[in-house]
Amino acid sequence: DLAYIFIGVRTQTASLSDSLNQSNTKAAEISSQLKELGVAAEDIQTSAFNVYPVQNYDQNGQPTGTEYVVENTVNVTVRDLASLGQILDSVVRSGANSINSITFDVADRKSAEAKARELAIQDAKARAEEMARLAGVDLGIVLNVSVYNSGSPTPVYEGKGGAVMSASGEVPVAAGQLVITADANIGYEIK
């Protein structure tokens, strides 16, 4: 239910002042578009601002002049995935020429991880009971329990889950499905 995107503007001109002015104008338009599309100001955070010269050369390897690059990148959190395609389309039309690393996540990670742990322990207990029954023994007291969460949600690449989200004229985006896993081990005394 969340997406994180790095959206940037890169300008390059013969004048540092011109590059900076163009970058600032485009960045302001992108920020305005994001806010108009419902992205909260606190969900737009500058992640990189770079300024550097680039030396140009002719065919003979002789310097022909210097141009200046200004790069301004923001990390945007999108909380309404239905608007993601429209957001991408709008920021590109507003001047964004660098979009990187669209990643998806869940807002309530703690609840999802807690549910995964609960299911993992239930599964471990059911397997232990099955093995005890098959071996003809009874389970005693629990000696130890260990649970390991997977860390980051894992994307499912087989097309299960979310559909491609796109209205006419928007960038198509497929959120897919994320899986949060936990592994549980339970050691029992055997009676």
Residue 98 CA to residue 105 CA, distance in Å, equals 21
H-assigned helices in 37-102: 84-93
Q: Which among 51, 40, 48 is positioned nearest to 17, based on CA atoms?
A: 51
How many Å is the Cα radius of gyration of the chain?
Answer: 26
pLDDT category at 166 given cuts 50, 70, 90 is very low
What does the pLDDT read at residue 40? 94
Residue 64 is encoded by which pair of tokens? Answer: 């022909």
What does the pLDDT read at residue 161? 41
Residue 34 CA to residue 43 CA, distance in Å, equals 10
The mean per-residue pLDDT over the stretch 76-91 comes to 92
In which element (H, E) is residue 31 found?
helix 16-36
Greater confidence, 161 or 87?
87
Residue 186 is encoded by which pair of tokens? Answer: 């339970």
135 has pLDDT over 70: yes
What does the pLDDT read at residue 174? 67
Sign of CA dihedral 70, 74, 80, 81: positive
Residue 186 CA to residue 128 CA, distance in Å, equals 8
Residue 147 CA to residue 101 CA, distance in Å, equals 31
116 has pLDDT over 70: yes
Q: Can you tell me whether residue 175 is helix, strand or coil?
A: coil
Q: Can you tell me whether residue 80 is helix, strand or coil?
A: coil
> What is the pLDDT of the chain when averaged over all its residues?
87
Q: What's the one-letter identity of residue 79?
A: R
pLDDT category at 177 given cuts 50, 70, 90 is confident
Residue 83 CA to residue 80 CA, distance in Å, equals 6
- Residues 45-74 have pLDDT tens digits of 999 999 999 999 999 989 999 999 999 999
What does the pLDDT read at residue 180? 85
What does the pLDDT read at residue 144? 93
